[in-house]
Structure 1
Amino acid sequence: MHSTALSDLREAVAERVLTALDDRTAHLAHVGAPLTDFLAPARSLLGGGKRLRALLCGAGWAAAAPDASLGGPVVLAGSALELFQGAALVHDDVMDASQTRRGMPSAHRRFALEHAERDWLGDADDYGQASAIVLGDLLLSLSSMEMDEAQAAVGPAAGGRARRTYDAMTAEVALGQYLDVRSQAQPWEDDGDAALARALQVVRHKSARYSVEHPLLVGAALAGADDDLLAALSAVGLPLGEAFQLRDDELGVFGDPSTTGKPAGDDLREGKRTALLAMTVRRAGADDRALLRDRVGAADLTGDDVAALQRVMRATGAVEEHERMIEARYQAGLVALATAALPRRADALLRELAAALTRRAA
């Protein structure tokens, strides 16, 4: 992020998130060491990240209040979004059995390792998963508290609309997570178009709207945006959100572990039914389809397996098609942005963020 406004907001939100974690659990300090242990994985997780959702919230605010600073309610709402993201990541890692997050052990693995090191009773993995689930629940609660404070800071009309947008976002993400789990449980099918449509449905409901569109709308609503502006921002946010998630799916297969913080080919190991995978299956011959069905999602997937699956994805032209899909959505977002005719500062912020969402390596 090069603009001063975005850099300042990012720093303010990063500070606020950790402050919220401490201040909103201060009444529980009498518990002592167990509380410290409980919060430690969250503190590590929340200490990093790109803060894109908070920055998009700031861009939405700037669209509706071009002369107002990116502080106060925006920082609180940005903190709410980042805490919600933290909860989603903790829960997502449990569901996907992910071992790492941002180059560190995922929350459930960290809890499990502590259990094993202390030689406690019961199964370490069960303990880790249960602890991570309730940690995610705590972060959801803290996120809601932060959003309550942001809502109160701007008054009932704007605050109420922003809160309703936030509530719709949190409900939709739960549905999106279920759709993702459901898609991985369903049998492989030969109808590539149906598989692609299902993958894009997951993209839209699990990530695209909550990663881009909803943060934009929360920020704009807090600043008193009218229906026309909110509709214009939705038209910008949805295609950019889809492009963001599609890029994420590609990085889940081809990303550099030193940059992504996750093992190479992690989405292949987890068996993610992504649009990229659907495109590959649709284009692959019989032998390659058999390889995909046999090895994608295999618990014993090796580095050689990952390389073989990557070769199939490239050789079929699926990666090129996937790149075209990302680019088409990026361009659709820019067209919608031009049509929206936003104030100059908001337009510049969104153009910078659009590039960051889609032109990234992590």
Structure 2
Amino acid sequence: MHADKLIQLLTIIGTRPQIIKSAAVSRVIRKDFSNQMEEWVVHTGQHYDNTLSQVFFDELDIPMPRYNLAAGSDSGSRQTAKMIAGLDAVMTEKQFDGVLLYGDTNSTLAGAIAAAQHGLPVFHVEAGLRSFDRTMPEEMNRIVCDHLSNICFAPTNNAYEQLVQEGLDDSRPHFADNRKRELVESGDVMYDNCLYYAEKRSDPVRMLHQLQLQTDGYVLATIHRKNNTDCPDRLEQILLALSDIARDRHLPVVLPLHPRTRKAMEKLPHCSTMHLQMLPPAGYLAMAELERNARVVITDSGGVQKEAFFYERPCVILRSETEWTEIVHHGAGILADADRMRIVDAYDAITGRAIHFPPLFGDGHAAENIVRHIVQYITGDNN
């Protein structure tokens, strides 16, 4: 490409966590690379609830997407097909130099397929994560996206080594431009955000006071994964465990409710939640404060597991597996699935142990690392 031409980078997002992750990279592009790159953001509309998306664009000062595909809710295959068709139209309308993807959602999968079909370089942030459960849609999405990517940005050393084990570091050319795939241990963009927004905290004491909470004096819980919310037995087991902890350990359990969770709870009229302090969905900064000040975090979210680790909070994981295996390996998280007794036992175990939180997720400059490698790949300038 001509030296005086700005790189045209298409960023694809569609869910709340992707909006948050993209904030770190978009911030770096605007601040340090605006003379080399122009970013075009497309929102697939995978999260279509305004409280889960619009608030984050405003709060994190992220530019509004130039495109919105409004894919909405549907079965996984139909939703992904809608996204691929919409992205195909975007990529046909304008010539891009590369496509940036985050995580493991259907938006990620659709972006990887559409970009590959257009012969565009694919750059995948959060590459190499594996839960080793291929019944999970997210696991299938991760694997396909990594194998279609020109650069795999691994957030941790474990993730990097997983890519090597899968043979993605071989020296053979894989793409139309006769280039080999690159693996980069970039660090984690969510850790970048953790450090950046920590400097912009407003008045956390006031927020906790308004909720009648004290630092280290409550448990934060989140439930949003489909296999937990759409299975009444699993959801009931989780809610009963949270109620047990609130009642018997004499700690408030705070539960910001995902819309899917609230709807599912309405189908459990005999499951009492009187001991739980339920809140509407929290914005990113409010959620960060709740995580930072909790005694323990109980969650089925991969992102919340990780943020708990950033803030050195122990975590009980409402799953039988996790893609963030390092957290469990270092004793900062316990897998409890959706079993009432296992959740309560995990809470007791993790509050009774000393935990070390080593620097697993980089140095807070992952976004700079990512953008620099993208520029070098597209321009061919490795200086």
TM-score range, shorter chain: 0.3 to 0.5
Which structure has the higher relative contact order (CA within 8 Å, separation 6+)?
Answer: 1
TM-score normalised by L of structure 1: 0.34
Greater percentage in helix: 1
TM-score normalised by L of structure 2: 0.32
Greater percentage in strand: 2
